[in-house]
Amino acid sequence: MELLAFGDTGWGDELFYATLMTIAVAITAMIIGFFFAIIFTPLKLSKNKFLNLIANSYTTVIRGVPELLVIYLFFFGGSAAIMFVASIFGYGEYIEINAFMTGAFSIGIISGAYSTEVFRGAIQSIDKGQFEAANVLGLSKFGKFFKIILPQTLRLALPNLSNVWQITLKDTSLISVTGLVEIMRQSYVAAGSTRDPLFFYSFAAVLYLLLTFLSMKLINRLEAKYSRGY
Amino acid sequence: MDFELMISSFPKLLNAAMITLKLLSISLIIGLFIGLLFAILRLNKNVFVNKFAYGYSYLFRGTPLLVQIFIIYFGLGQIEYLRSTFLWVVLKEPYWCAIIAFALNTGAYTSEILRSAFQTIKPGIIEAGKSLGVSSKIIFYKIQIPIAIRQSLPAYGNEIILMMKGTSLASTVTLMDLTGVAKYIISTTFRPVEVFIVAGGIYLFMTFVIHNLIKFLEKKYSFNS
């Protein structure tokens, strides 16, 4: 237990901040993922074959390639890509992007591919009559989407989005390879310096279980909220 | 684009893909047995047995695979007692540690898939078997299992693909699988995009083959044929 003490003698405070970091990365990645989903879901549902192809290659490639490989691509390629863009504008210095942004962005791209599939499924399973009814009522395109389609999409998508959240949360453990100090990285450091890997990795497992358990409770509440009237 | 590097690294990556496939197939076979065992335990009416099986699946589905590998590879070696048993022969090898972690992980997901497949079998089908005087053992092997296999095929196909991606974590415990070799080439040549295209292409090809294999099996075992 003294290993977990707060302050200089134990790893309690370090692990606490690492847990906050994991949560921060997971939430940022999920939001970045939503942005990707907002872009790619309409492309997936569009009637244009070319736009379909773009969206399908995004989701197929990301869901068919290991997360770790995607992370390595951005970890090693991220700063090179930004330096390339900067060199076009005449900036030749070395640029390093911080580990948080690399991690959140690569996990975000992965999470976005799953979210896109979830939103596509949800919109497709909305009854056709709903679209027709909105047309008959003379709602504008804007009103149709925000008042009729979106609320129903959210209800249908929530259970699957909660799965995406669980996947994203667990994927954040992989960005420890980039050196970002989240739960896994901190446990690795602590295990190395105390020579007690069994304790620290088991404690990391407990922290992840706690996070998945708490987020489940929260999501169940949200689901109840969006299922009012059903 | 450095096409020369892409061509020269292709055979190395292809070789490494064999290790990925080996890790995948061994863990899937062991995982299937674990999954079947725990699915049956989950359907047991004994509360204690039931809770134990649920706890197992909750534990392995609620934590990242990376933590599981690290606990088995770095953690278990710390227990003095284990070092003196025959288990140490297995546990000191990163290869077997990775396989144990993968098998336990996929076993947990498989048990959930199989459990829900068993639960969706209509009671009428089992009752029909009983009323024909078929013994409950034969009902289980000849009726419940074939239907459960058919029901769980699509979900199990997804699990195979997820597990294939999961094997990439073997590279974190020094194994040179497809991702491990890709990382090595990237860190020596600083050409992430080229290597990603080749390695990613191999992964996508494997995903494609697995996907179509499952589709073929689904057709073969569908009720209409």
Average confidence (pLDDT) over B7-20: 93
Q: How far apart are CA B25 and CA B74, in angstroms?
A: 24
Average pLDDT, chain A: 88
- The pLDDT-based confidence of B61 (bands split at 50, 70, 90) is very high
> Using alpha carbons only, what angle is made at residue B27 by residues B160 and A210, rounded to the nearest 5 degrees?
75
Tell whether B175 is covered by a domain: yes
Question: Hey, CA dihedral for A106, A108, A110, A112, is it positive or negative?
Answer: negative
Looking at mean pLDDT, say which of A4-8, B97-101, B125-129 comes out highest.
Answer: B97-101
Tell whether B225 is covered by a domain: no
Q: Which chain A residues are closer than 8 Å to B199 by Cβ?
A: 69
Q: Is A92 exposed, middle or buried (0-12, 13-18, 19+ CB in 10 A)?
A: exposed
Is A173 in contact with B192 (Cβ distance < 8 A)?
no
Q: Which chain B residues are closer than 8 Å to A68 by Cβ?
A: 168-169, 171-172, 179
Overall number of domains in chain B:
1
Residue B191 pLDDT > 90: no
3-state helix, strand, coil in chain B (%, to 5): 85, 0, 15
The pLDDT of residue B200 is 95
Nearest to A169 by CA among A219, A209, A119: A209
- Cβ contacts of B128-134, under 8 Å, gap ≥ 24: none
Residue B225 pLDDT > 60: no
Average confidence (pLDDT) over B131-136: 90
Kindly report, residue by residue over A176-208, the tens digit of the pLDDT: 988 899 999 999 999 888 888 899 999 999 999
Residue A9 pLDDT > 80: no
The pLDDT of residue B218 is 87
Closest by Cβ to A66, choosing from B168, B193, B208: B168
Q: Which chain B residues are closer than 8 Å to A60 by Cβ?
A: 204
The pLDDT of residue B72 is 92
Q: Which residues of B175-212 are buried (b: 16+ CB within 10 A; e: fewer)?
A: bbbbbbbbbbbbeeeebbebbbebbbbbbeebbeebbe
Average confidence (pLDDT) over B24-44: 94
Instruction: Give the relative orientation of helices A197-226 and A183-194 as an angle to the nearest 10 degrees.
Output: 160
Residue A168 pLDDT > 60: yes
Specify the fold of A24-182: MetI-like fold (1.10.3720)
Q: Which helix (H) or strand (E) holds B59?
A: helix B47-62
* Range of lowest pLDDT (A3-12, A116-125, B3-12, B49-58): A3-12
The pLDDT of residue A178 is 86
Q: Any idea what the CATH number is for the domain that residue B209 is in?
A: 1.10.3720.10
The pLDDT of residue A1 is 61
Which chain B residue lies closest to A185 (C-alpha atoms)? Answer: B67
Kindly report, residue by residue over B137-166, the tens digit of the pLDDT: 898 888 888 888 888 998 999 999 999 999
Tell whether B78 is covered by a domain: yes
The three-state secondary structure class of A215 is helix
Tell whether B109 is covered by a domain: yes
Average pLDDT, chain B: 90
Rounding to the nearest 10 degrees, give the CA dihedral for residues B70, B74, B78, B79.
50
The pLDDT of residue B140 is 86
Predicted complex: ipTM over 0.90:
no
> Using alpha carbons only, what angle is made at residue B200 by residues B194 and B201, rounded to the nearest 5 degrees?
90
- Residue corresponding to tokens 């007690």: A196
Q: How far apart are CA A163 and CA A10, in angstroms?
A: 34
Q: How far apart are CA B114 and CA B159, in angstroms?
A: 12
Q: Which residues of A50-79 are buried (b: 16+ CB within 10 A; e: fewer)?
A: eeeeebeebbebbbbbbbbbbbbbbbbbbb
Tell whether B106 is covered by a domain: yes
**What residue type is B224 in one-letter code?**
N
Tell whether B164 is covered by a domain: yes
Q: Which chain B residues are closer than 8 Å to A76 by Cβ?
A: 186-187, 190, 192
Instruction: Suggest the residue from B72, B196, B204, B208 to mutate for an interface test with chain A (most A CBs closer than 10 A).
Output: B196
Average confidence (pLDDT) over A20-25: 95
Residue A50 pLDDT > 80: yes
